[in-house]
Structure 1
Amino acid sequence: MCVVHGCSIPLPKWVTEEMDKDQDLAYTDRCGRRNYEYLSLGADTIPALKGRTPIQCYADFMRAFRDHLAPYMGNTICEIQVGMGPAGELRYPSYPESNGTWSFPGIGEFQCYDRYMRASLKAAAEAVGRPEWGNAGPEDSGSYNQWPEDTGFFRREGGWNTDYGQFFMSWYSQMLIEHGERILSACSSVFTGTPGVKVSVKVAGIHWHYGTRSHAPELTAGYYNTRNHDGYLPIARMIGRHGAVLNFTCVEMRNHEQPQDAQCMPEALVSQVANAAKEAGVGLAGENALPRYDETAHDQVLATAAEKAEEDRMVAFTYLRMGPDLFQPDNWRRFAAFVKRMTETGVRDVSREQVEREAQGVAHATQGVIQEAAVALCN
């Protein structure tokens, strides 16, 4: 399911009906709360959906999408972002905001307590000769809205950096990577041979508490990224094995705009992910995390996405989101200038003043159409 900024696209009813019959198909936290945003990846290979596995069903959906929209492939449709988790992102639903369970900047909770995930954890612990590690996740990892130093596991010298913590995080993150691998394998079997279409995978921009040693919110989401361990390079390499693009968010954010007491560092996080993509030989695409219509955000996107050496530039950028606010006259003029500047990246003899003049002309020429769009979106 996708739930982000007022957009809600739930799982199909026939899937949730099967989840009602077997609630262990849903991600589950330590207290037994079930999450219906996405099927638990622990059930990827279980024939739990009327005799078929979730991956098989997803492959069927992708095939139907390809066949139904075949005339648009490669021209209108040039990128297909394959959903891999809540809000379409490759992650666990560790910070469920829609139902009020979590609020920013809480650390979230591990989602490994359905019976399928527990069986996998038990097998992994036995494989390393430590069966006592396979009973459950960390007992001292806190709750959704706590901060790292409130917990035994995530505090500065906490359990995350012990042998047990390293075992658990390796297993938890590897399960996520293997989930991505299975979906991209299915995707490749469907879209290979479809010219002009790139596949992309969205990775969440979890920038809060990034300045701490444990990076707790990233860990609960499945990104084994700490002061001592790079969690994004293995993901980038997995994506690269299938020729896909890594799509990353929060590229419009600046460090000083975020709460400093929560050690938010979106610029450092974007830089780390960009370096991982470069090392893995993967194309990096981006999008803004919040609806922003101001020039400060536009400038940051340009600095992140475009004003670099040609080989390091983002391959695509998705602007979120189209709504009535975008079509307000000043916002639309700024947006037109932003698009022009993105288009003219690398052309150094085009001044900002010239771009602004051209954007003013676009805004004037499209005024009637834009007013109609704004009215339609408000109704």
Structure 2
Amino acid sequence: MMPLDSVTNGNTVNRKKAMNASLHALKSAGVEGIMIDVWWGLVEREAPGAYNWGGYTELLDMAKKHGLKVQAVMSFHQCGGNVGDSCTIPLPKWVREEMEKDSDLAYTDQWGRRNYEYVSLGCDSLPVLKGRSPVQCYADFMRAFKDNFKHLLGDTIVEIQVGMGPAGELRYPSYPEENGIWKFPGIGAFQCYDKYMLSSLKAAAEAAGKPEWGSTGPTDAGHYNSWPEDTPFFKKDGGGWNSQYGEFFLSWYSQILIEHSERILSSASSVFEATGVKISVKVAGIHWHYGSQSHAAELTAGYYNTRFRDGYLPVAQMVARYGAVFNFTCIEMRDHEQPQDALCAPENLVRQVGLATKEAQVPLAGENALPRYDESAHEQILKASSLNIDGSSNDREMCAFTYLRMNPSLFQPDNWRRFVAFVKKMNEGKDSRRCLEQVEREAEHFVNVTEPFVQEAALALLP
């Protein structure tokens, strides 16, 4: 992953000298490609349909020159306010103007707090953005990207990851870190209280013959930083999540998220048809409270996954319908590294997602959720990417892994040495019969070869 601010507000490549040296080092170390956020808030910032691809043209040409493939993320969300966000890139100016006029275009919690990270899916198909619907805006943006970079599609640009929500993930903004609203490992809060979402809920309740369920979401589900057992809705015994009403609400809340994804995936598939690029969808690795019966933190984010129900299979099946890739985070985490009282279980979660994607016959790709440069994290990634999840021998492994992130820390001598060895092992794949000592020796050779570029990159990246 490239730095979030790889392209500046002035639409040029940020720290161009550092970027060039860094890409040279990555290519020399055996890295196959880079991930670039293509920010809606930068490219179409000033006016609808006025696209400025300046910095991206330069950056993509640079990647091509170095022989690196590109995973381009259509970033329809705001940068700033989430884990690891190191800069602020708001939504386009004209989108924010519309949201100021009609604050119901923003996701809203039960206390009326608005979230401006991503336009609410409740108005996906309504012409609320200066005559276009949000989904039309996303489709037009992707079409403009395709027209501008068609000479690179399928060759340099090999994958389009389509942003579906906050942090580019298919989820609700249920755990916003901005202004300290949420802190790990809080359960988060449902985001369905804008008038467009409530209108959908009302219609669903009437269709179910329970109009009394349609006026509001659960009001007994605690606050952002509650724990499941402290709330009537999420508690283990007699919790509302496991009632007839809970089943109705959670089915609706998760289903309209999947329908939102379908609308955007359908657009992406038709825009990029026959261009040779893969389409992918990113799903968040919400591993805290996974060991509880209700899986509260997953429920507020929109994944209807509980002790009694698989919430990832429906998502995987939807992704499979469009021939897309299911991209999942938290691949580097081990259960014992997490706070035990919050019943975190990232390894079990990755295993569940692996099984769901296997059943849906959809390719699975991975990312690490937090920056890690230690061998323990690298070993966990290697183990998880082999997808030997049920103990049986299989011929499946992750189709790709994207490492978070290229920054000055990566180019520190010890971190770089470990990273080069990790890349070498990942490239070998799980079927390699070669001894690890030989791989380590080759990695050491690559470390020596890349030393001049790494030193240049490390110096140039310093603030």
1:314-370 Cα shifts (integer Å, max 9, x gaps): 001000010000000111111110010011114433222111111111111111110
2:113 alignment partner, one of 33, 44, 66: 33
2:410 aligned partner: 326
CA contact (8 A) 1:307 1:346 kept: no
User: Structure 1: how far apart are the matches of 2:263 and 2:309?
Assistant: 24
Q: 1:125 to 1:207 in 2, by over 3 A?
A: same
CA contact (8 A) 2:316 2:356 kept: yes
Q: Which amino acid aligns with 2:330?
A: C
1:9 aligned counterpart, secondary structure: coil
2:62 aligned partner: none
Q: 1:192 to 1:310 in 2, by over 3 A?
A: farther
TM-score of the two chains, using structure 2 as the length reference: 0.80
1:103 aligned to 2:183? Answer: yes
1:46 aligned counterpart, secondary structure: coil
CA contact (8 A) 1:80 1:198 kept: yes
Any residues of structure 2 matched to 1:139-150 within 5 Å, and which?
139-150=219-230
1:311 aligned to 2:395? Answer: yes
1:351 aligned to 2:431? Answer: no
Greater RCO (CA < 8 Å, at least 6 residues apart)? 2
2:313 aligned partner: 233
Task: State the 1:310 CA deviation.
Answer: 5.5
1:372 aligned to 2:456? Answer: yes
User: Structure 2: how far apart are the matches of 1:109 and 1:307?
Assistant: 32
User: Aligned-residue CA RMSD in angstroms?
Assistant: 1.1
User: Structure 2: how far apart are the matches of 1:167 and 1:6?
Assistant: 35
1:55 aligned to 2:135? Answer: yes
User: Structure 2: how far apart are the matches of 1:311 and 1:281?
Assistant: 13
1:133 aligned to 2:210? Answer: no
1:11 aligned to 2:72? Answer: no
CA contact (8 A) 2:387 2:396 kept: no
CA contact (8 A) 1:247 1:284 kept: yes
1:164 aligned partner: 245
1:72 aligned partner: 152
1:273 aligned partner: 353
TM-score of the two chains, using structure 1 as the length reference: 0.98
User: Structure 2: how far apart are the matches of 1:293 and 1:325?
Assistant: 8
User: Structure 2: how far apart are the matches of 1:38 and 1:371?
Assistant: 38
1:187 alignment partner, one of 265, 268, 272: 268
User: Structure 2: how far apart are the matches of 1:266 and 1:336?
Assistant: 25
User: Structure 2: how far apart are the matches of 1:44 and 1:21?
Assistant: 17
1:253-311 Cα shifts (integer Å, max 9, x gaps): 00000000000000000000111111111000000001000110000000010264563
Give the count of matched residue pairs.
378
User: Structure 2: how far apart are the matches of 1:10 and 1:174?
Assistant: 28
CA contact (8 A) 2:79 2:85 kept: no
CA contact (8 A) 1:307 1:345 kept: no
CA contact (8 A) 1:306 1:342 kept: no
1:176 aligned partner: 257
1:175-207 Cα shifts (integer Å, max 9, x gaps): 100000000011111001112x11100000000
What is the percent sequence identity of the aligned residues? 68
